[in-house]
Amino acid sequence: MSLLHLLMIVSSVALSATAQILLKTGMVSSGVKTAIESGKPMSILTVIATTPSILLGFASFGLSVGIWLLVLARTPLSVAYPFVSLGIGITVIAGLTIFGESVTPQGAIGVGLIILGILCVASQG
């Protein structure tokens, strides 16, 4: 796998993980929480559709998809797709550091095994 292909894959995965973080940030914001608590569907949709971090999350997803399409055109799926799992590691770390979430020891081992698997795939491609 060329360095360019690797950079495209990592960029797509990083943008996808960033999208998750931005969407989570928006969904736990006070405005969205208040709208959800109101139980009014139109109010909820309006607030979600106008929350900057949610809009940035959608934009990040869109850019990620665009790059991913280029990856799929140039890289075997069996090599590229396992890298999507890197997003799990990124979002777990974000959950810990940004949102104060916790991870069980089994969860940490699982993420470590995922990363190990990605390294194995990367070394073959």
Q: Report whether pLDDT(124) > 80.
A: no
pLDDT value, residue 54: 98
DSSP code per residue over 36-49: HHHT-HHHHHHHHH
Q: What is the spatial distance between Cα 8 and Cα 6, in angstroms, rounded to a whole number?
A: 5
Residues 75 and 13 sit within 8 Å (Cβ to Cβ): no
Q: Residue 63 is part of which domain span?
A: 3-124
**Can you tell me the mean pLDDT for 42-71?**
97
pLDDT band at 125 (very low <50, low <70, confident <90, very high): low
**Confidence at residue 82, expressed as pLDDT on a 0 to 100 scale:** 85
What is the reported pTM?
0.85
pLDDT per position as a tens digit, 11-48: 999 999 999 999 999 999 999 999 999 999 999 999 99
The number of distinct structural domains making up the chain is 1
